[in-house]
Amino acid sequence: MASHIVGYPRMGPKRELKFALESFWDGKSSAEDLEKVAADLRSSIWKQMSDTGIKYIPSNTFSYYDQVLDTTAMLGAVPPRYNWTGGEIGFSTYFSMARGNASVPAMEMTKWFDTNYHFIVPELGPDVKFSYASHKAVNEYKEAKALGVDTVPVLVGPVTYLLFSKPAKGVEKTFPLLSLLDKILPIYKEVIAELKAAGASWIQFDEATLVKDLESHELEAFTKAYAELESSLSGLNVLIETYFADVPAAAFKTLTSLRGVSGFGFDLVRGTKTLDLIKSEFPAGKYLFAGVVDGRNIWANDLEASLATLQSLEGIVGKDKLVVSTSSSLLHTAVDLVNETKLDKEIKSWLAFAAQKVVEVNALAKALAGEKDEAFFSANAAAQASRKCSPRVNNEAVQKAAAALKGSDHRRATNVSARLDAQQKKLNLPILPTTTIGSFPQTIELRRVRREYKAKKISEEEYIKSIKEEIHKVVKLQEELDIDVLVHGEPERNDMVEYFGEQLSGFAFTANGWVQSYGSRCVKPPIIYGDVSRPKPMTVFWSTAAQSMTKRPMKGMLTGPVTILNWSFVRNDQPRFETCYQIALAIKDEVEDLEKAGITVIQIDEAALREGLPLRKAEHAFYLDWAVHSFRITNVGVQDTTQIHTHMCYSNFNDIIHSIINMDADVITIENSRSDEKLLSVFREGVKYGAGIGPGVYDIHSPRIPSTEEIADRINKMLAVLETNILWVNPDCGLKTRKYGEVKPALENMVSAAKLLRTQLASAK
């Protein structure tokens, strides 16, 4: 019985690629050094899968930044501003597209489906001259073959690529991107021809947009594309892979009717309804790649349940056509549980990271073939039983408190307009008030202090002294810059979710459970294994210390319940909304303690609210109802004079703007600049927003420093669609990934732009 892995994490078990990338970007190492680290990682991944017994091993799932950007490079679809003159695309052009450079901004970055992984959005139009400009897919296949591993090269499918693109600047927003299919398919044919010549026997196209609500002309594009590729694919086995949700009936029919395709991959963890379609409509003689091992969470597979599912499918498609697979790429999970030597043993027995999931896939394939590892299955069953009955999972008091939330919508009693008036009397802010989103640069010295405190190499007294010194430095800098509402810079936090999870019950933490978010940015999601509560205040000490250093308003900085949920590995034994309500109650306690301590501005970040939106429109309303309700629970009890901020970033918010309004925050700061200000279009179209709003005026994920004039121009565009008295001026996101040499001049220019506009507005009266 065959086994298959959709994709694998790239960063390495100890984030080797992250450090190699950052060293290269900082000019401390060469391209050859970076390429060697990457080659060593690829080699170890392929060897691990081969040694485990996986038959269908992926290649070309490794990336220096993002697989969609890799496809843009493959197609030579480089925007003109990067001055690429043709030929094989090198690191300079590639990383300029991803990160920007001193003279031009980066391309837009947004979330990959409903995950916390980000991709670089292709910018396309009728004048793009496509050419075969990156041979990465072929080179990596050859590299694996030279190591004795025959792989399945993976390409982002041509239709999914176009559906995830956007019209380039200057191109009509209504430009039909699918009209470019005829222009990109010749490049796909060149890649296919080279892979065939190199000896590939299988090729995988990731066409995951098939799980979304597609219109008939979009479904027809799949039929057209694969009919056009059929002759080129002759002699190859072709797998079309989908993931993250059910495939709708119409899409399933289109998919399984594609010409020249040998097999189809489905997510049977998040897409359980697809099982019914498989049982009634799966085409005879085709391979079924059954994604029964969860690629997006870290819980050990229920092997007996998965085996039963596979056995039922075996009766439908035949023993020789069933392939055991992961539900999606393992990119979205941590790398290897072996590295977690300090994790609680019982909790550890409930988990499986990427390396363990590879073993699970192989164990299921062997069991189907009559070679069941009884000891392995028995240990798995014992861990499943342990988790179900463990007293550390259930807290009756928390469950009762969450159940009592039903029946109220938890909305503040006074409307936002009246609250803003009361807050202005207390805060006395200028028009176009300036602020930042929360974090300031995390220096090497600061990271050292946190690391040494965690390792008990310095005392708590020394740690507090160091962190207070850092806060004082950040406060002083903001005062010198003349920023209106300050932040303490979050020097005590490595990660906005991890910090809170460490102080909440029901959470567990890893030492090396890193997951790639974008580029070299990695996060270490907490594991929510049980009911959630707050044993004691989490941020009050640091917020009050920071407020004591200034007479200006100091924000209390919290992460919202939906973001904590969406950026964690969440328990799968109860509905997500129940866990979210529990977190909301814990954050509510913190908000009220901050208010009692004299903090008058409290930011509750919901950066990931849009990210969790289900992929299918029919499921949107239910999700948005409980997600928005969870946010309102956190601050329903505060006074009118306490200003509640929230922050959102790097998603398309236009389609949920009414839900954002329904959150009833006093001020929202929201990503805007990197997405070419498309957020503003929703206000141009007539949506009225009465609360405070700060669309980001510059992109913090690029080292580029915007000029005062550029920022002033952005603010003017905002003033064309938003009232002066509600507009805030702020960056797109937190500043932790930047250096002070970039942050200080950028913020200087931001404040100068705000003052310039204030002067102009005053003189225009």
Q: Is 490 a known ligand-binding residue? A: yes
Task: Please tell me the distance from the alpha carbon of residue 144 to that of residue 125, in angstroms, as a whole number.
Answer: 35
The catalytic position among 488, 629, 645, 701 is 701
Interatomic CA distance for residues 602 and 595, integer angstroms: 8
Q: Which residue has the tokens 């790239």?
A: 10
User: What are the distances in angstroms from CA 120 to CA 111, 114, 136, 429, 708?
Assistant: 9, 15, 17, 37, 26
Token pair for residue 279? 């049982």
Ramachandran area for residue 643 (φ above 0: left; ψ -120 to 50: alpha; else beta): beta
Alpha-carbon distance of 244 to 364, in angstroms, equals: 21
Q: Is 701 a catalytic residue?
A: yes
Q: H or E stretch including 276?
A: helix 274-281
CA atoms of 652 and 613, how far apart (whole Å): 11
Q: Residue-wise over 232-257: b if at least 16 C-beta within 10 A, else e?
A: bbeebbbbbbbbbbbbbeebbebbbe
CA distance 241 to 267: 9
Counting every residue, how long is the chain?
765
Ramachandran assignment for 686, one of left (phi > 0), alpha (psi -120 to 50 degrees), beta (any other): left
Whole-angstrom CA distances from 165 to 35, 161, 459 are 28, 6, 51
Question: What single string gives the DSSP state of each residue in 540-569?
Answer: HHHHHHHHTT-SS-BEEEEE-HHHHHHTSE
Q: Contact, 706 vs 698, CB < 8 A? A: yes
439 is in an annotated binding site: yes
> Residue 243 has which token pair?
């993931």
User: Is 437 flagged in the annotation as binding?
Assistant: yes
Give dist(CA 269, CA 294) in Å, integer. Answer: 6
Was 116 annotated as part of a binding site?
Answer: yes
* Cβ neighbour number for residue 612 with a 10 Å cutoff: 22
Instruction: For residue 86, count other CB atoms closer than 10 A to its CB.
Output: 10
Q: Check whether 345 is labelled as a binding-site residue.
A: no
How many other C-beta atoms can be found within 10 angstroms of the C-beta atom of residue 706?
A: 22
Please tell me whether 494 is known to bind a ligand.
Answer: no
Quote helix, strand, coil % in the chain, to nearest 5.
45, 15, 40
Instruction: Return the closest-CA partner of residue 173 out of 678, 649, 674.
Output: 678
Amino acid at 29: S
Calpha distance 95→83 (Å, rounded): 13
Count of C-beta atoms within a 10 Å radius of residue 34 = 18
- Enumerate the β-bridge partners of residue 648: 670
- Identity at 345, one-letter amino acid code: K
HSE-CB at 37 with a 13 A cutoff on CA atoms is: 22
Which one-letter DSSP state was computed for residue 112?
Answer: S
Residue among 626, 599, 595 at smallest CA distance from 612: 626
Q: Is 25 known to sit in a ligand binding site?
A: no
Check whether 260 is labelled as a binding-site residue.
no
Q: How far is Cα 143 from Cα 157, in angstroms, rounded to an integer? A: 22
Tell me: is residue 671 an annotated ligand-binding position.
yes
Establish whether 522 is an annotated binding residue: yes
- Does 316 appear as a known binding residue? no
259 is in an annotated binding site: no
User: Annotated binding residue at 715?
Assistant: no
Angle between helices 374-389 and 303-317 (to 10 degrees): 120
Binding residue positions for 5-methyltetrahydropteroyltri-L-glutamate: 18, 116, 521-522, 567
Binding residue positions for Zn(2+): 647, 649, 658, 671, 733
Binding residue positions: 18, 116, 437-439, 490, 521-522, 567, 605, 647, 649, 658, 671, 733
Binding residue positions for L-methionine: 437-439, 490, 605
Active site residues: 701
